Structures are given as structure tokens and as C-alpha cells.
Amino acid sequence: MGSYERVEILERLDGIADIYMPDVKWPDDAAAATYSKAPEYWENVTDSLREMHRQVGDLRMDDRGLATGGLLVRHLVMPNHVESANGVMEYVAGLSEDTFVDVIAQYQPYSRARSEEFYDEIDRGSTEEEYREVVDHAREAGLERLSLDESMLSSRSGFLDAS
């Protein structure tokens, strides 16, 4: 299930889904409409995340580290959108500081994002500095259950997977 799913659909899955793993990209409706062609994205996402969390709660793992139920939010850090990422982290922390968040740094521009001026803002991958700012902000917001891209943090001590 995506985070842009309508709550009415999610309600039909109540008691059926054990784990939700939505991708959450934009708390900014303008960026969502521009880059993801997703109007009213943030309102849909916040409603969906609340419903997912209501149904399954925080991510639970067994003694082998395998997820057995709950919510795991994935966030792809986009270039030039640190404030946007910070908005996602604040919302998720407000939902529950025990939310497990996979902070992803794998964005690479392809196709028109590389060649058209319209996409200049996202025509590169995220920088290590941008990624670190997002991780710092996530922790400041109270999130500690973070899965991090160690390659973006390799030269800085104190950043470890807190899963």
C-alpha cells in the first residue's frame, strides 16, 4: 500500500494487513503535484498514515529482527528538499516517536529529470550534507528507530542504525 491510498480503501484492510510500508515523499503539495503528479498529496498521506498506524501500531520485530507487524515508513531524501523531508519527519514523530523510518538516499535523476530545465531542482542525487540534515532533524523530532544509508554517513561518527 502506498501512502497516497485513500482511507476508505485502507479501512477495508483493517484486520487483514499486518504490516504497512508506505513511501512518503512530500509534505509540500506543490512539489508533489509538480514531481509526482499527485494533487492533494499531503492531506491524503496524513490521513492514510493515521489509519495505517491505528490499525497496526508501531513496527514490531521478532528475536531474529524480522518484522511481524506494524508501520514502517520509507522516505526518499530528495535533492534541494531538506525542509520537505523535515516536514515528513515531524509528522511521523507526531504520529508516534516509535515509528520506524527508513531514510533513503538512493534518488538518482533519470529521463526528463536529467535533461529538462523544468526539473533543475531535482537533476542530481541528494548530498551527504542534505541527508545528514534530515537524519539530525529526525532525531531532534524524537525519532530513534531509523534505518540509515551508512554510505551517506561513513565519515561521521555517532550515526548508527537505530533499528
Q: Which residue has the higher pLDDT, 32 or 52?
A: 52
Domain count, the chain: 1
Flag whether pLDDT at 157 surpasses 50.
no
Q: Look up the pTM and report it.
A: 0.85
Asked whether residue 82 is assigned to any structural domain, the reply reads yes
100-104 vs 146-147, strand pairing mode: parallel
* Owning domain of residue 53: 7-151
Q: What pLDDT, in 10s, does the model give residues 52-88? A: 999 999 999 999 999 999 999 999 998 988 999 999 9
90 vs 27, residue with greater confidence: 90
What is the pLDDT at residue 34?
A: 76
Residue 157 domain-assigned (yes or no): no
**Is residue 139 in some structural domain?**
yes
pLDDT tens-digit series, residues 114-143: 666 766 777 778 899 999 999 999 999 999
Strand partners, 20: 71
As a whole number of angstroms, the distance between CA 32 and CA 29 comes to 5
CATH number of the domain encompassing residue 79: 3.20.20.70
Residue 100 lies in a domain: yes
Picking from 69, 44, 39, the residue whose alpha carbon sits closest to that of residue 56 is 69
Would 81 be classed as within a structural domain? yes
> What SS3 state is found at 115?
helix
CA distance 163 to 160: 9
Is residue 124 one of the residues assigned to a domain?
A: yes
161 domain residue, yes or no: no
Does a structural domain hold residue 123? yes
What pLDDT shows up at residue 1?
Answer: 59
Closest to 80 measured CA to CA, from 148, 140, 127: 127
